[in-house]
Structure 1
Amino acid sequence: MSPLASLNKYFWKYKWHFLLGMIFIILSNYFRILTPQVTKYVLNTVEVSLQKKSIAADSHIKTHYDPLVRIFINQFTKRDSTFKTRILYCGIMLLVLALISGFFMFLMRQTIIVMSRHIEYAQKNEIFNHYQQLDTNFYKTHNTGDLMNRISEDVSRVRMYTGPALMYLINLAATIGFSVTYMYNENKELTFYVLSPLPILAVTIYYVNTIINRKSDKIQSLLSDLTTNAQESYSGIRVIKSFVQEKAMLGFFEKNSELYRRNAISLAKTEAIYFPSMGLIIGISTLLTILTGGLYVINGSINIGVIGEFIMYILMLTFPVMAIGWTASMIQRAATSQRRINEFLHTTPTVANAPAPVTTTLKGNITFDKVDFVYPHTGIHAIKNFSLVINKGEKVAIIGKTGSGKSTIAQLMLRMYDPPKGNITYDGIDIKQLDLTSLRSQISYVPQDVFLFSDTVENNIGFALEKTTPERIYKAAANAAVAREIEGFPHKYTTMIGERGVTLSGGQKQRISIARALLKEHEIVLFDDCLSAVDAKTENEIIGNLYNYLHSKTAVIITHRIFSLFNFDKIIVLQDGAIAEEGTHRELLERAGLYAEMYYNQQQQEKNAVL
Structure 2
Amino acid sequence: MRIFADLWWFFKQERLKYFFGIIFLMLSSFLSMIPPYVVGIIVDDIRTRNLTPMILGKWILFLIIIGIIYYFTGYIWRQLIFGSSIILANQLRNDLYRHFTKFSPNFFQKRRIGDLMAHATNDINAVQGAAGEGILTLFDSLTLGGMVIVTMSAFISWKLTLITLLPMPIMVVLTMHYGNLLHKRFGKAQAAFSDLNDKVQENVSGVRVIKAFGEEEAQINMFRKASRDVVDKNIAVAKVDSLFDPTITFIVAFCYFLALIFGSIYVVQGSMTIGGLTSFTLYLGQLIWPMLAFGFLFNIVERGSASYDRIRRLFAIKPEITDVDGASSEVPSGAIDYAIRNFRYPESESNALSDIRININQGQTLGIVGKTGAGKTTMLRLLLREFDIKDGQISIGGKEIRSVTLDALRSAIGYVPQDHILFSATIAENIAFAKPEATREEIERVARLASIHEDILHFKEGYETVVGERGVTLSGGQKQRISIARALLADSEILIFDDSLSAVDARTEASILHALKHERKNKTTLISAHRLSAVEHADQIVVLDEGRIVERGMHQELIEKEGWYAEMYAHQQLESLVSEGGGKA
Same fold (TM over 0.5): yes
Cα distance in 1 for partners of 2:289, 2:439 equals 61
Q: Structure 1 vs Structure 2: percent identity of aligned residues?
A: 34
Q: What letter is aligned with 2:114?
A: G
Partner of 1:549: 519
Aligned residues of 1:447 and 1:528 also touching (Cα < 8 A):
yes
In structure 1, what residue type is equivalent to 2:24? F
Query: Paired residue for 2:482, among 512, 516, 520?
Result: 512
Out of 396, 400, 405, the residue aligned to residue 430 of structure 1 is 400
Matched-pair contact (CA < 8 Å) for 2:25–2:73 = yes
Alignment of 1:119 with 2:75, yes or no, is: no
Q: Whole-Å Cα distance in 1 between the matches of residues 430 and 165 of structure 2? A: 67
Residue in 1 aligned with 2:63?
94
The structural deviation recorded for 1:372 is 2.1
SS in 2 for 1:608: helix
The Cα shift of 1:466 comes to: 3.4
1:201-600 correspondence to structure 2 within 5 Å: 201-377=171-347, 379=349, 381-499=351-469, 503-563=473-533, 566-600=536-570
**For residues 133-172 of structure 1, what are the structure 2 equivalents within 5 Å?**
133-172=102-141
**Distance in 1 between the 2:144 and 2:350 partners?**
63
Per the TM alignment, residue 122 of structure 1 is displaced from its structure 2 partner at its CA by 1.6
- C-alpha contact (below 8 Å) 1:161/1:331 kept by paired residues: yes
Aligned to 2:25: 25
The alpha carbon displacement at 1:82 in A equals 5.1
| Alpha-carbon contact 2:332-2:399 (below 8 Å) kept | no
Could you give the per-residue CA deviations for residues 452-485 of structure 1, whole angstroms, max 9, x where no partner exists?
Answer: 1111111111111131111111110111111111
Tell me the distance in 1 between the aligned counterparts of 2:333 and 2:15.
Answer: 50
Q: 2:94 is aligned with what amino acid? A: N
2:144 to 153, 175, 195: 175
Distance, in Å, in 1 between the alignment partners of 2:4 and 2:251 is 31
TM-score by length of 1: 0.92
**Residues 451 and 501 in structure 1, CA contact (< 8 A), matched pair in contact too:** no
Partner of residue 609, structure 1: 579
Instruction: Give the deviation of 1:298 after TM superposition.
Output: 0.8
CA contact (8 A) 1:371 1:419 kept: no
Instruction: Give the superposition deviation at 1:25.
Output: 0.5
Conservation of the 8 A alpha-carbon contact between 2:137 and 2:296: no
- Is 1:452–1:501's contact at 8 Å kept on the other side of the alignment? no
8 Å Cα contact 1:453/1:501 also seen in 2: no
- Cα contact 1:448–1:529 (8 A) shared by 2: yes
Q: Provide closer, same or farther for how the CA distance between residues 340 and 532 of structure 1 changes in structure 2, counting only shifts above 3 A.
A: same
Q: Which runs of 5+ in 2 are unaligned?
A: none
Cα RMSD over matched residues? 1.7
Structure 1: gaps of 5 or more residues: 50-80
Larger displacement relative to structure 2 (121-130 or 229-238): 121-130
Q: Measure how far apart 1:379 and its partner are.
A: 4.7
- Is the contact made by 2:333 and 2:412 (CA closer than 8 Å) also made in structure 1? no
1:155 counterpart letter in structure 2: I
Q: d(CA) in 1 for partners of 2:15 and 2:130?
A: 16
The code of the aligned residue for 2:444 comes to Y
For normalisation by structure 2, the TM-score amounts to 0.96
Cα-to-partner distance string for 1:108-129 (whole Å, 9 max, x where unaligned):
1111111111221122111111
Match runs of 1:13-92 below 5 Å: 13-49=13-49, 83-92=52-61
Aligned residue pair count: 580
Shift of residue 7, structure 1, vs aligned partner: 2.6
CA distance in 1, matches of 2:45, 2:492: 90
| Structure 1 residue 238 displacement after superposition | 0.9
Q: Please identify, of 120-129 and 499-508, the stretch whose mean Cα deviation from structure 2 is larger.
A: 499-508
**Per-residue displacement from partner, 1:121-178 (whole Å, max 9, x unpaired)?**
1221111111111222111111111111111111111111111111121111111110
SS across alignment from 2:150? helix
Quote the residue 1:12 is aligned against.
Answer: 12
The code of the aligned residue for 2:230 comes to Y
Would the alpha carbon gap of residues 561 and 582 (structure 1) be closer, same or farther in structure 2, given more than 3 Å must change? Answer: same
CA contact (8 A) 1:486 1:492 kept: yes
Equivalent-residue separation in structure 2 for 1:585 and 1:195 (angstroms):
92
**CA distance in structure 1 between the partners assigned to 2:250 and 2:407 by the alignment:** 63
Cα distance, 1:565 vs structure 2 = 7.6
**Amino acid of the structure 2 residue aligned with 1:40:** G
Q: Which residue identity does 2:58 align to in structure 1? A: Y
Does 13-22 or 375-384 show the bigger shift?
375-384
1:117 partner SS: helix
| Counterpart contact for 2:323–2:402, Cα < 8 Å | yes
- Which structure would you say has the larger Rg? 1
Deviating more after overlay: 407-416 vs 495-504: 495-504
What is the identity, as a one-letter code, of the residue corresponding to 2:419?
A: D
SS in 2 for 1:499: coil
Residue range with higher mean Cα deviation, 262-271 or 372-381: 372-381
Question: 1:564–1:585: 8 Å Cα contact kept in structure 2?
Answer: no
Of 318-327 and 343-352, more deviation after overlay is shown by 318-327
CA distance in 2, matches of 1:439, 1:329: 48
Counterpart CA distance in 1 for 2:180 and 2:247 is: 16
Equivalent residues of 2:332, 2:408 under 8 A apart: no
